[in-house]
Amino acid sequence: MKFAKYFVLGLFLSSTAHAYLSIAESGEVLAPGKYQVGVEPQLLTNKGGGANFDVFFDTSINDSTSARILMGAGAVDFNAFASVKWMPFPDVENQPAMGLRVGAGLARDEEENLLQLQVAPLVSKKFDTEYGLSVPYFAIPFTYLNTKEENVVATNLAVGTEFHYVDWTGVTLGAELGVDLNKSYSYVSIFATFPFESQKGFGK
């Protein structure tokens, strides 16, 4: 009940805390035994702007679930975030991949410490092209922000794509646009992921 109360209050109270987290992944799930590391520069385009740089590590849990650990710094002085992506409906035939990403993290923004709890419905669909596999995705993250002074529920729209170039087996590229809906930064980010297996190394 407390979360529901903070959700309603957060929609109407003014706040200095804003959500900035991107999604930077589609609904595709790593195969068991696979891992990847990634980097993501992010440009904030409203509320004073700035830039962040994140690094992350992904691992598979099972056929429908993966996990990510992320750390970054920049306009947001420091952030650490852990998430689990659960995709019970895979991308098959005309059906897109559908599921949720849930996560929690801590951040330091100027003089403010932030506790972040996020739930993000996530949808994606694969498309084969002559240049490689494209995986557009769409998400609406809901992020509960807790600070010493207030509690806010922020929302934004995240639209992006992963691109697996046909001749590049060791890297996946991506881009994402975030649009502020409530108490969030708008942003543009790009990212690259590098897959590997524990016994084989990067890109093999």
Q: What does the H/E/C string look like for 4-34?
A: HHHHHHHCCCCCCCCECCCCCCCCCCCCCCE
Show pLDDT as tens, one digit a residue, over the chain (204 residues).
Answer: 554 444 444 443 445 678 999 999 999 999 988 999 999 999 999 988 899 999 999 999 999 999 999 999 999 999 999 999 999 999 999 999 999 999 999 999 877 899 999 999 999 999 999 999 999 999 999 999 998 888 999 999 999 999 999 988 899 999 999 999 999 999 999 999 999 987 665 554
pLDDT of residue 198: 72
Q: What is the pLDDT at residue 12?
A: 39
Question: How far is the C-alpha of 151 from the C-alpha of 13, rounded, in Å?
Answer: 9
CB 158 within 8 A of CB 177: yes
Distance CA 183, CA 49 (A): 14
Q: With 0.75 as the threshold, say if the pTM is over it.
A: yes
Amino acid, res. 173: L
pLDDT recorded at residue 150: 85
What is the structure's pLDDT at 17? 76
3-state SS record for 129-198: ECCEEEEEEEECCEEEEECCCCEEEEEEEEEEEEEEECCCCCCEEEEEEEEEEECECCEEEEEEEEEEEC
The backbone torsions φ and ψ at residue 6, rounded to the nearest 5 degrees and listed phi first, read: -65, -30
Closest CA to 60 of 92, 97, 88, 28: 28
Give pLDDT, residue 201.
53
Q: How far apart are CA 203 and CA 94, in angstroms?
A: 30
Identify the structural domains of the chain with CATH numbers, from first to last: 2-202 (2.40.128)
Kindly provide the b/e burial profile for residues 102-111, where b requires at least 16 CB atoms within 10 angstroms of the residue's own CB.
Answer: ebebebebee
